[in-house]
Structure 1
Amino acid sequence: MIQASPRLPKSGNNSRRLFDNSPAKGLWLLNVSPVARNVADMTRTAFMTALAALFLTLPAAAEAACIAEFKAKQDNPLRLQHGEMQVSSCDRSAATEEVRARLAQQGWILLKIVALKG
C-alpha cells in the first residue's frame, strides 16, 4: 500500500506568482487588433486617395476661370479705365455680360472687351 507523502511545512513564500505565462490579450484600448488595424489602413488609404483626387482637380477648376481685359468709361466728368477682371467663363459673350453687370454696379459703362486670358 502506498502511503501519502507527509505535507511539507508552509514557508513564507506562498503568495501569488510573479510571472504570468498566459497568452497576451489584444490591447483593445489602443485598437491594435488585426481587424482594427486593417480598417484603419483602409480608411487612411481611402482618405489619401480622395485627397489626391481633390488636388488633381483643383488646377482644372482654376483654369475654368478667365481674365477679361476691358476698357470702360464714366461720364460727368469723363474718366476712362483700362483693367482686368476675373470672369467665370471664357466665352466672349458671357464674359462681356458679366463684366458689364459688375462695372455697372460701380457706375462704369463697358466700352470693349480687349482680350480674354486663360
Structure 2
Amino acid sequence: MSGSAPPRDATTAKAIGWGGLAVVVLVAALRGGFIGAAIMFGLYALVAGLVAVVRGRARWAQLGGWATGGAVLGAALVAMIVASVTARRRPRDAGQRADVSRPDTGRRGRHL
C-alpha cells in the first residue's frame, strides 16, 4: 500500500518535531529577538542534522539520508555563526569592574 496515508506514529512524530521547533524558535524570538531565534533554530537544526547523519535518516524532519543530514548540519552552523556575528554586544555595567587606577585609601572626605 504505497499510496496510503503515513502511519499515525509517523504523523505524531512529525507534529512533535516541527511543533518543538516552532515553540523553541518562538520562545527564543520573544526573549532574544531575531538573533536568539536564529541561534535556537541553528541548534535545533544541528541536532536534527546530526541525528540524520548518525542514523541515516530523520523521518519526522523528512531527512532521508546522510547527504541531506550533512546539508542541514552545514546550514545550522551557518545560521548560528551569522547570528552570533551580527549580535550586538552589551555594554558592561560600570559597577562590575573595579577602578584599579585609584586605590581606595579609606580616607574619603578627609583632605590634608
TM-score normalised by L of structure 2: 0.28
Of structures 1 and 2, the larger Rg is shown by 1
Q: Which has the higher strand share?
A: 1
TM-score normalised by L of structure 1: 0.27
